[in-house]
Structure 1
Amino acid sequence: MSAPTTERSDAVSESRTSGRSWLTGPVGAGIAAALLFLVLWQVAGVVGDRIPGPGPVLDAAMKEIERGEFFYNFAISMQRFVIAMLISIVVGIAIGLAIGSSRRFDDLFGDVNLVGLAIPAVIWALLCAMWFGFADTAPIVTVIFSAVPFIVVNVAAGARSVPPALLDMSQSYDVPRSRRLRHAVLPAVTGYVVAGIRFGVMSGWNGLLLSEWFGSADGVGHRARYWYDANQLPGFVAWIAFFILFMVVTDRVLLERLSRRAFRWRDGESAPGEPAAAAAA
């Protein structure tokens, strides 16, 4: 009779432990932070007459959805963003591998990439608006200029992390350059590529909003600018909140999981691309 009783008590204890870990873990902390933010937002909306609370903002967002503006502008922005990020990933990986693997390329383009890191996205947005006008080209080029330097700096750091002894040995055995790249360099830089893409996505998404704000007739940034010029804060805040929410969800649901998967073989260590990108930013 004692064995079933012990098993039930163990099961109850495990259930309570898992419940406490869920409440005190990252999910519980995230929910608590979100609730605290909503409470503070509501208080700010009641106290201040120039800060719209969650209610008016949600109402403005629902009206944008009913008008069809939400899905239309979001689809346009996503199309531009996906095209620009695909180009940025290809270009960033190629340049990063060249800089990290070749001293000559590092001397030629290393400082240029640092200059790209130092230029804020708003400068690229203004320049591209003047260069390309109100068309799809300006937002796409802005995203590329904003994202590529972050991808390059991380991929270059990954290429430099490849043990020189391994490359020297492969050269001594006359291993073709393509095989060295495929079997020695690329596996070592995979995690750095994911980290670079993660920071590139965040920087590029900011660049997209700014470019559409200054030089576009549609898109998420343009719609936020529309309500800003109309001095309608609920509509403006609704689009900004959506912009921030989309970036956070994309990072947490997709990019962070990809980063953890890329560095699953380095348990207990931080992603090497993250410190590099953070320091560069």
Structure 2
Amino acid sequence: MYKKGLLLLLVIFVSFFLFGCEIVYPNNTTTQGEVAITTIASDLDLWKNSDEAFDYNGDRKIDQEDYDIYLLQNDYEFWKTSDEALDYDNNHIIDELDFEKYKLHTNYNYWKLSEEAIDLNGDAFIDETDHEIYNNYDFWINSDEAEDLNDDSTIDVSDYEVYIEYVEFVGTYYLTNYTYDGAESHSFGENVLFSDMGDYLSQITVSVNGRGEFTVTIPDNIKTIFGDSHLIMIEAANNMTISRLSPFIVAIDTNVIMDGIEYNLTIYLDETEAGYSASYIMGFYYDEPEITFDIVKAE
């Protein structure tokens, strides 16, 4: 009897605990027998199911990385706390104006709908190519490198076109590894044999500025050795133009007048790690001697 009484007391106690207490269900539960699961959609999930979702980084997935890019371009507070928040207008403050610049540079569609979108390459279309030019030009125009390169008293996109044409060539160069293959009697002027030119050329430097203009610097001792012939080198440098013909080939064109005859010269340069290498066949001599040399950019 004692054991039965304990069992009965236990049953009563358990029944009281289970059924005597108030049972609280989630708000969306309507029936006691149903299992209720409450889920709260994340911001990422909401975005992924919206029309704004897009594969921004081109990895064929729409995920958190794309959502972060979206926020960078659309949420000022998110952008301001990111590594992308920079002082784009150089006013020493990072604010909404910088955020606007950021969006114009990183979001092609946003740029295309803005007043900044113009046909910058003159092909009668406003497209991604113009946006790429805009990106680079906008950074350039706000940099210390911006200057009036075409001498029209205005610094604008036409100056930037000059800049991008010549910026890779800007610097000071010297010649080295000179070789000559030809008759010993051929000379530069009256005193210098072409076979001996290497020692002299290594002391001469050539500079290219942002306009693509050349300046040759000849030491006084070399001027003395060359005599009046050094003026021909200066004339040739003043008339030089440089242009890129392909991803691998650069051409220098110039002309000089010697003994009343105008000579037009083109030298093709192959790129090297240190600068360029070149070879030139002097076709105005009967035996067509050849010279080769390297053009090294000074650091």
Q: What TM-score does the superposition give when structure 1 sets the normalisation length?
A: 0.24
**Higher RCO structure (Cα 8 Å, ≥6 apart):** 1
Higher helix share: 1
Higher strand share: 2
